[in-house]
A = this chain, B = another copy of it.
């Protein structure tokens, strides 16, 4: 976390080392080495933090002891709670695009008994034999489609009938235009690329919502943050407490 200001980095460093409940013995040369800065800067940093009331310092003989004040803890706690808000709240993912007519493949799929049966079992409805195809309009929407694909937790297994093999299909529940429950599907080998969303429902969505080719629609899903942020983590830690 290179670009965090040194003040916070020092405060976090001290907190990690136990400086919330214990006075830590720390010297400016040691501190400076940890942050690859000069002894003078380390000294100045402690002076500033003390002046701002974020740490208490006590010089006993030749060593000084440092501890976070309530205000110092509050600073970090505020920051923590703000970030917690951001990362723990449900993640609303929105895709926007326009309805278009597909190749008729979706319709075909959703009338194959092997899929129909699984939809009924795993999603709880009898699918209307056709998919609603949506071309995504923005880069955001396309990126978000990929997130949804990663997160899609319902799996329709592939199978064979006497004619051909059918691939696996991942699926996730979404809302169409904020109100209509639907399911977005991700066929393992789709005819479309990641700029197209395919939706199924027990209803004919075109009829029910009065959609025609070119209609603007909004697909939204709410994800659990824990799963959503997997893969975002970088492996570099912020700082290590003293040995």
Contacts and interface: CB of A to CB of B under 8 A. Distances in A.
A78 B238 contact: yes
Contact of A77 (B23, B80, B229): B229
A21 interface: yes
A156 to B, nearest CB: 26
Interface in A204-243: 229, 232-234, 236-239
Contact of A82 (B18, B147, B232, B237): B237
Contact of A80 (B74, B80, B236): B80
A15 B85 CA distance: 10
The 9 closest A-B pairs by CB, nearest first: A5-B5, A80-B83, A82-B238, A74-B234, A3-B7, A73-B232, A15-B86, A23-B140, A74-B232
Nearest to A233: B77
Given A21-B144, A23-B138, A23-B140, A83 B1 contact: no
A81 interface: yes
Report which residue of A23, A76, A232 has the largest number of chain B beta carbons within 10 angstroms of its beta carbon.
A232
Report which residue of A82, A91, A144, A229 has the largest number of chain B beta carbons within 10 angstroms of its beta carbon.
A82
Interface residues of A, number: 51
So how many copies of this chain end up in the complex?
2
A12 interface: yes
Contacts of A79: 1, 4, 79, 83, 238
A20 interface: yes
B21 A78 contact: no
Contacts of A85: 16
Interface string A2-28: 011101100010011010111100000
B73 A229 contact: yes
